[in-house]
Amino acid sequence: SQQGEEDPQALSIQEGENATMNCSYKTSINNLQWYRQNSGRGLVHLILIRSNEREKHSGRLRVTLDTSKKSSSLLITASRAADTASYFCATDFVYGGSQGNLIFGKGTKLSVKP
Amino acid sequence: EAQVTQNPRYLITVTGKKLTVTCSQNMNHEYMSWYRQDPGLGLRQIYYSMNVEVTDKGDVPEGYKVSRKEKRNFPLILESPSPNQTSLYFCASKLGWGALHFGNGTRLTVT
């Protein structure tokens, strides 16, 4: 399986703290994406970082990508109770052509306590 | 409104009774994919399609069939469902190297 791995599997923090989640993958990618899922609902796209980028920001989200280590991290700053959700990384593998195939990891379950 | 539509949202069936979960997107996306989600296992890919008439197996294709006869539709077929196919299923689509757009999911129970 080419499935990536998130670390940790579960994370519990207090409101206002920062949350960091990591993702490792196995092969060459065009881009890496992070998604959020509230319990049992559909996944929502958060941010996409391309293989030639090292860091990207979106609001309270900061994503880094290290292609030499085949890893990425998602940082949520000043977390809120509403950030409680599962977070997944997905890697868009290079198959050639104009698009790739997205493979998801197992996710990190984040719980932010008020 | 741009969207991926899955039907039905909930389905309870019995072992061996053929069923189809429909998926349709109105964004002219070439890529479509089916995933199943089980506790602790994340999203595992069942089948994907890079374009019309082009389909490939994902990590867990056994017991499933798909077809892509037109760009907008990508149905998932369970010819003879078994209890181990009880799961939450998601259809998704994307354009090029962009983000995936997900349907709302289908919760399937096979008794």
pLDDT of residue B22: 98
Chain B residues inside the 8 Å CB shell of A88: 42-43
Among partner residues B42, B59, B95, which is closest to A107 by beta-carbon distance? B42
User: What mean pLDDT value characterizes chain A?
Assistant: 91
Q: Which residues of B touch A106 (CB under 8 A)?
A: 40-42
Cβ distance A101 to B42 less than 8 Å, yes or no, reads no
End-to-end CA distance of chain A: 38
pLDDT at A2: 56
Tens-of-pLDDT digits for all 114 residues of chain A?
556 788 899 999 999 999 999 999 988 889 999 999 998 788 999 999 999 999 999 999 999 999 999 999 999 999 999 999 999 999 987 766 667 888 898 999 999 999
Comparing CB atoms, the residue among B45, B96, B101 nearest residue A98 is: B96
pLDDT in tens, B33-73: 999 999 888 899 999 999 999 999 999 999 999 999 999 99
Output the pLDDT for position B102: 95
State the best of B97, B108, B109 to mutate against chain A, taking most chain A CBs within 10 Å: B97
Q: Which of residues 84-103 of B touch A (CB under 8 A)?
A: 88, 90, 92, 94-103
B52–chain A Cβ distance below 8 A for any pair: no
Residue B53 CB-density burial (10 A; 0-12 exposed, 13-18 middle, 19+ buried): exposed
What integer pLDDT is reported at residue A19 of this predicted model? Answer: 97
Q: Do A42 and B103 touch (CB under 8 A)?
A: yes
pLDDT of residue A99: 73
- Residue B110: predicted pLDDT: 97
Confidence (pLDDT) at A40: 76
